[in-house]
């Protein structure tokens, strides 16, 4: 339960997709829970004790019947949320929960429909390219971040068709007439291997499709 100021009366739920994060999830939930009203962990059919540890830390746990991936997990969290605002944050503790209030505040005050945590340097060249591509649809500096706050009613309308969120999340919000802001975040160092994101090759086609839909939607609004 949040210990922050009342955020002008807005209620907030954190959506934490998690897969085999038993070693980290308790600390993440405890850190996140200080800044939101509800913490929802979506356990993506983990083979370890991610779910029990999340419950012990105070989170409400939604368990996927089978491993369906990141996008399916956050969409389930969106559907379950009954707050004004939802925040997505990764289970591994890389994103700093104390940056949740700066993400939430502009959404609560009506200045933005979504606020993203900009990681600064984007390491993967493929992710850099997808962000550059998404930037043609609007002001997007980090389209692959897993740390964002947005209106719950907007989140529940998103299709998010793709192999990952890179590019498509921002473009869908823009295509629905949403206003996006970004705030800088400094990542925590974690000991976690990072493989090559081969799925970014397929993601290119999803981003192009989303870019075309966004451009058409904005063109219709201006016509």
- State pLDDT tens for residues 145-182: 889 999 999 999 998 876 566 677 888 898 889 999 99
Domains plus CATH for the chain? 7-187+196-222 (3.90.550.10)
pLDDT value at position 223? 47
| Distance in angstroms (rounded) separating the CA atoms of residues 144 and 197 | 12
Q: Tell me: the pLDDT tens digits for 80-92?
A: 999 999 999 999 9
Q: Tell me: the pLDDT tens digits for 41-61?
A: 999 999 999 999 999 999 999
Please say whether the beta carbons of 89 and 16 come within 8 A.
yes
Lowest-confidence pick of 57-66, 97-106, 191-200:
191-200
pLDDT value at position 195? 47
Overall pTM > 0.75: yes
pLDDT value at position 219? 43
């Amino acid at each position: 339960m949040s210990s922050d100021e009342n955020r002008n009366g807005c209620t907030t739920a954190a959506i934490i997709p998690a897969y085999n994060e038993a070693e980290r999830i308790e600390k993440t939930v405890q850190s996140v829970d200080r800044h939101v009203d509800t913490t929802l962990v979506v356990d993506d059919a983990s083979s370890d004790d991610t779910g029990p540890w999340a419950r012990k830390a105070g989170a409400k746990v939604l368990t996927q019947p089978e491993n369906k991936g990141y996008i399916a997990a956050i969409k389930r969290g969106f559907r379950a949320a009954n707050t004004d605002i939802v925040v997505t944050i990764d289970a591994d503790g890389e994103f700093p929960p104390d940056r949740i209030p700066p993400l939430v505040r502009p959404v609560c005050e009506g200045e933005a429909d979504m606020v993203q945590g900009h990681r600064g340097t984007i390491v993967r060249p493929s992710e850099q390219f997808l962000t550059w591509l998404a930037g043609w649809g609007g002001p997007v500096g980090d389209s692959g971040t897993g740390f964002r706050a947005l209106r719950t009613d907007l989140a529940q309308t998103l299709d998010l068709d793709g192999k990952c969120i890179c590019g498509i999340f921002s473009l869908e919000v823009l295509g629905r007439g949403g206003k996006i802001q970004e705030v800088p975040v400094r990542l925590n160092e974690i000991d976690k291997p990072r493989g090559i994101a081969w799925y970014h090759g397929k993601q290119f086609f999803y981003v192009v499709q989303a870019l075309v839909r966004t451009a058409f939607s904005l063109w219709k609004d201006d016509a």
